[in-house]
Amino acid sequence: MKKREGQAGQGDGSSVLLAILLAAGFSSRMGSDKLLLSYKGLPLLQHSIDLLCKLPADERILVTNETRLVNVIVPENVKVVINAEPEKGQSESIRLGIEATQAASAISSHFLFLQADQPNLTADDITPLLDAAEANPAKIIFPITNNQPNSPTLFPVKYRYDLLNLSGDNGGRIIREKSKEHSLGIEVDKPANFSDIDCMEDLNGFV
């Protein structure tokens, strides 16, 4: 999916990528704030922000909380949205992220939802997903690792209403599962890069 400078939000039918980093959820299983734990000298969240900035996106949105925000560096080309009610679940962050975008009227827009706990993920890893979305503009695109769906996920803008009406901790997975005929999984070259961190054992295994 190629970025077209200056066309975001024009609604002229050009392809638009709206990248949303979801980083407001709780991390109770870690015993501390997971996204502020250090990995290769930086907080986990900083790695995800740096990735967000390397993507060919027309808009970049970070949904997080105040505490995490003061511990990371956010470039000016990233719009920050504070989720004051993370207890509502991931659906609240999805809603806030979508509502913060300006270019969702473009016919071939896609929302790209990124998780903040995949520190080894690179822009090159995501490129095949963007290419698949470009070739299949009406389909939900997601990576396949170890024969299972993984993150990040691309949703065509036509799913905006469905995404906005999610509730609780239901993420986009429930929409993907209900739209299997309109979903496309992509086998990735480096599945290990898509691994996430859910517990200290995972983090120790990464270091």
Selected residue with higher pLDDT from 95 and 8: 95
Residue 100 pLDDT greater than 80, yes or no? yes
Residue 106 pLDDT greater than 90, yes or no? no
3-class state of residue 33 by DSSP: coil
Mean pLDDT of all residues in 171-190: 95
Residue 40 pLDDT greater than 80, yes or no? yes
Selected residue with higher pLDDT from 58 and 29: 58
DSSP character at residue 148: E
Q: Under CATH, to which class is 15-206 assigned?
A: alpha beta
| Cα(69)–Cα(8) distance, integer angstroms | 26
- Mean pLDDT score across all residues of the chain: 88
pTM: 0.89
Q: Where are the domains of the chain?
A: 15-206
DSSP character at residue 151: S
Local confidence band at 4 (pLDDT 50, 70, 90 cut-offs): very low
The C-alpha torsion from 85 through 56 and 171 to 133, rounded to 10°, is 160
Mean pLDDT of all residues in 170-192: 94
Is residue 22 left, alpha or beta, with left meaning phi > 0 and alpha meaning psi from -120 to 50?
Answer: beta
Mean pLDDT of all residues in 57-80: 95
> Whose CA is closest to 20, among 155, 118, 121, 132?
155
Largest distance between two CA atoms of the chain: 48
| Cα(34)–Cα(29) distance, integer angstroms | 9
